[in-house]
Amino acid sequence: MAKKYSKVKLNKFRKSILTKMDEVTRDMDELKEGLLDKGNPKAGLSQDSVYSVHMADAGSDSFEKEKNYMLMSRESDYYNNLSLALERIDKEKFGVCNICGELIAEERMIEVPNATKCVECKTKDKLNLT
């Protein structure tokens, strides 16, 4: 019989993942607000508007937007990975290492609910990549 977590533990993991997904959604909403913030509503209305903003300020604004886009992408990827973890819960394959088939430690699954490899296989995998 294949190793797997009990239905009670799977439900506990599901609740934890749903909570994390809510947090990620809130974080992404805040990032979207920052990206949509227009700043000065009159900027860009006149020909002189190019000079109305200091170049360093424009650079800082550009950097912040770029950073927010990167964070949005990262949060979106994490959200998708959490969704996949929910699918694995539905299939009762959650917490089973994709490489060795052993049960991934509960502590790891609590901290990294989207994990698909046990620590040992993840470490071996990393060593083979370098």
Distance CA 53, CA 127 (A): 49
Q: Look up residue 104 and give its DSSP letter.
A: P
Q: pLDDT tens across 54-101, in order?
A: 777 667 777 888 888 899 999 999 999 999 999 999 999 999 999 999
pLDDT, residue 106, reads: 95
Nearest CA-CA partner of 14 in 106, 75, 90, 74: 90
Q: pLDDT tens across 115-130, in order?
A: 999 999 999 988 887 5
Taking residues 7-27, report their average pLDDT: 96
Distance CA 43, CA 53 (A): 8
Helix (H, G, I), strand (E, B) or coil at 6: coil
**Rounded to the nearest 5°, which phi and psi values hold at 103?**
-75, 130
- In this prediction the pTM is 0.76
